[in-house]
Structure 1
Amino acid sequence: MGLRHLGRELALKALYRVDICGGASNDDLVLFFETFPAEDSARRFAVQLLEGVRREQDVLDKHLAGALEHWSIKRLSRVDHNVLRMALYELLFMPDIPARVTMDEAIELAKQYGDIESGRFVNGVLDEIAGRLGLRQKLDDRIASTPE
């Protein structure tokens, strides 16, 4: 398991905790991260995601709301919502991470922590957002230019 994958898992768990508890102080989050064994680089990545998602939450939710057909953000499960927020944060604010990697990781997290339909749902929403943000062409170009 890669360090960024572990960081994403930690960030998802922390975001879920924040949702359940109605917020968390920095001390709460420090204690939370200390309870999960992980290398420092995985924790740093998790904190970067967590802080970014919390800081840009309104922007992320606006993009998500626009991509949901016949659905509202309030109806999303906490897991699906936070997986989508993290993936969208990576897509918008972390250009060093390839879009395909972000999307694949989000789908895997949704399958692992969500319900039976979460992987497909997250895939569909992220595909819609990728089209709206002009990322679909970048994804297709990367796949076409990758040597087999």
Structure 2
Amino acid sequence: MSEPPYRGGVGSRREARERALELLYEAESKGQPPAVVLQALPVPPEAFTAELVRGVGDHLAELDEVIASYARGWAVARMPALDRAVLRLGVFELLHRPDVPTGAVISEAVELAKRFSTEESGRFVNGVLATIAADARPA
């Protein structure tokens, strides 16, 4: 089951997250802040995509600190870049987008990890985000 299309734009949140992941990966690959990558685009992305990219960029230190404290045995800097970007995106939504259901955040992040990284990445992302969610969004 996928989320309904978000208000204010064409497409789905799934597509917006995928585009945000691409932009976050591009920013890291170029060694630029995510906001710089957004500003350089010839056509601005959908609003939700831009919000995710800006949010991750604005909270990068906090997100990495949270990831590091939950990813036992893994230093954030040593994680594959795609896994790191997916985790940052998921943690940003868990901590700063309470309107997005926890299950949606986790399942979308796992799908992104499986699609763009490895099957093992999907399991890793699921474990880290589920543990963070249990503390950040207790039932």
Smaller-chain TM-score range? 0.7 to 0.9
Equivalent residue, structure 2, for 1:16: 25
**Identity fraction in percent:** 35
Query: Which structure 1 residue ranges, 5 or more long, are not aligned?
Result: 35-39, 139-148
Q: Secondary structure at the match of 1:117?
A: helix
What letter matches 1:111 in structure 2?
A: K
The 1:27/1:77 distance shift into structure 2, 3 A limit, reads closer
The 1:48/1:25 distance shift into structure 2, 3 A limit, reads closer
Q: Secondary structure at the match of 2:15?
A: helix
With structure 2 as the length reference, what TM-score do the two structures score?
Answer: 0.84
2:126 paired residue among 123, 127, 148: 123
**Alpha-carbon shift at residue 31 of structure 1 (Å):** 4.7
Aligned positions of 1:20-39 closer than 5 A: 20-23=29-32, 28-32=37-41, 34=43
**Alpha-carbon shift at residue 74 of structure 1 (Å):** 1.2
Q: Which has the larger radius of gyration?
A: 1
Given that 1:9 and 1:109 are in contact with CA atoms closer than 8 Å, whether structure 2 keeps it comes out as yes
Query: Which structure 2 residue ranges, 5 or more long, are not aligned?
Result: 6-11
Kindly report structure 1 stretches of 4+ aligned residues shifted beyond 6 Å.
none
Aligned residues: 130
Given that 1:10 and 1:33 are in contact with CA atoms closer than 8 Å, whether structure 2 keeps it comes out as no
The 1:33/1:95 distance shift into structure 2, 3 A limit, reads farther
The 1:4/1:33 distance shift into structure 2, 3 A limit, reads farther
Tell which deviates more after alignment, 92-101 or 124-133: 124-133
